[in-house]
């Protein structure tokens, strides 16, 4: 009889624990759950391309789809167009130059998109401006180049972007593994007004991002390390509502494939992260190659009343639907 009584007590304890976990991570007891998503435009208004067989060094400019708009990624007109379409924030890439500036450019090598050769770090910012950033784009295996000649002096510096859009939110991708690049980037950001700094997030490889975080601890940053340091303890204890200190002042990019397994997903998880100045961005697929929610059918996969940020490569398709 004692054994049966003990089992009954254990059963009730387990039932109460399961009920607690469920209620603590569901939206049933939440108020004002009607939320609207925000939109993150990848590289501004960019030309898109097939993701099939893509590798880290694939020249994506050589495989674009037939152009749907006249803009070239990572340029001032492209960024403006993305905000005009309804983007809440814009992602852009930066590479260090020979004269210790940061060019807004994606690739480690110039010859894919431009009429230059070598690395951006081989050139000064002014020398990079002489290049045509639309030179290499083709949608028909090189038969035509629709942007050739249209991208001269279109590669901006990071400060040109931040000075032209002082009241806009940006996700800055530092395309480098060099820790010193992170230190230099921190100096540029530190010179900005505090209000503008609060609208920025920096992400990239562990080394440079770690330096940015050390120099500017209040700035949101993201790297593989910051993601692991936040999410591993959260996956262990997040069911209690606990938010690890490592989750503060960062950004979480969650692939839609794994997001449903996160404690409190979506509403409670997003609210928990917002409470420690951390933004949650959902990316399409498994998060391997910057897949985005780019078509109406993609949005149908999102939870109802999703209130996080949506990564998109086609802001011109998605913003009219959600805005």
Neighbours of 137 (CB within 10 A): 25
Asked if residue 230 lies in contact with residue 238, where contact means CB atoms within 8 angstroms, the answer is no
Asked if residue 227 lies in contact with residue 253, where contact means CB atoms within 8 angstroms, the answer is yes
Check residue 87 and report its DSSP letter: -
Measured in whole angstroms, the distance separating CA 16 from the mean position of its chain's CA atoms is 39
pLDDT (0 to 100) of residue 31: 65
pLDDT tens profile 205-217: 999 999 999 999 9
pLDDT, tens digit only, all 323 positions of the chain: 666 777 777 676 777 666 766 667 877 666 665 678 999 999 999 999 988 888 888 999 999 999 999 999 999 999 999 999 999 999 999 999 999 999 999 999 999 999 999 999 999 999 999 999 999 999 999 999 999 999 999 999 999 999 999 999 999 999 999 999 999 999 999 999 999 999 999 999 999 999 999 999 999 999 999 999 999 999 999 999 999 999 999 999 999 999 999 999 999 999 999 999 999 999 999 877 789 999 999 999 999 889 999 999 999 999 999 97
pLDDT (0 to 100) of residue 20: 62
239: nearest Cα among 17, 18, 25, 13: 25
Structure tokens at 77: 């007109």
Measured in whole angstroms, the distance separating CA 114 from the mean position of its chain's CA atoms is 24
pTM score, whole prediction: 0.94
* First vs last C-alpha separation in the chain: 64
Residues 96, 26: Cα–Cα separation, whole Å: 45
């Amino acid at each position: 009889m004692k054994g049966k009584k003990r089992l009954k007590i254990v059963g009730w304890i387990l039932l109460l624990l399961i009920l607690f976990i469920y209620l603590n991570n569901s939206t049933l007891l939440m108020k004002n759950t009607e939320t609207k998503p925000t939109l993150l435009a990848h590289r501004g208004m960019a030309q898109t391309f097939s993701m099939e067989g893509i590798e880290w060094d694939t020249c994506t400019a050589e495989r674009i789809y037939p152009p749907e708009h006249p803009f070239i990624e990572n340029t001032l007109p492209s960024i403006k167009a993305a905000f005009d379409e309804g983007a809440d924030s814009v992602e852009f890439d930066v590479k260090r130059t020979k004269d210790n500036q940061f060019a807004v450019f994606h690739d480690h090598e110039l010859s894919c998109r431009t009429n230059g050769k070598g690395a951006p770090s081989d050139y000064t910012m002014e020398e990079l401006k002489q290049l045509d950033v639309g030179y290499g784009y083709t949608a028909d295996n090189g038969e035509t180049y629709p942007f050739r000649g249209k991208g001269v002096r279109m590669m901006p510096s990071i400060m040109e972007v931040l000075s032209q859009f002082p009241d806009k939110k940006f996700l800055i991708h530092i395309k480098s593994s060099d820790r010193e690049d992170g230190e230099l980037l921190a100096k540029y950001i530190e010179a900005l007004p505090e209000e503008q700094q609060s609208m920025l997030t920096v992400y990239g490889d562990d080394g440079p991002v770690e330096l940015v975080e050390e120099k500017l601890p209040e700035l949101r940053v993201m790297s593989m390390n910051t993601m692991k340091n936040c999410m591993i303890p959260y996956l262990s204890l997040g069911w209690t509502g606990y938010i690890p200190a490592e989750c503060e002042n960062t950004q979480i990019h969650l692939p839609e494939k794994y997001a449903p397994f996160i404690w409190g997903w979506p509403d409670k998880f997003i609210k928990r992260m917002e409470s420690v100045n951390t933004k949650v961005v959902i990316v399409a697929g498994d998060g391997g190659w910057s897949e985005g929610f780019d078509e109406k059918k993609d949005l149908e996969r999102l939870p109802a009343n999703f209130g996080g940020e949506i990564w998109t490569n086609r802001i011109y398709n998605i913003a009219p639907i959600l805005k």
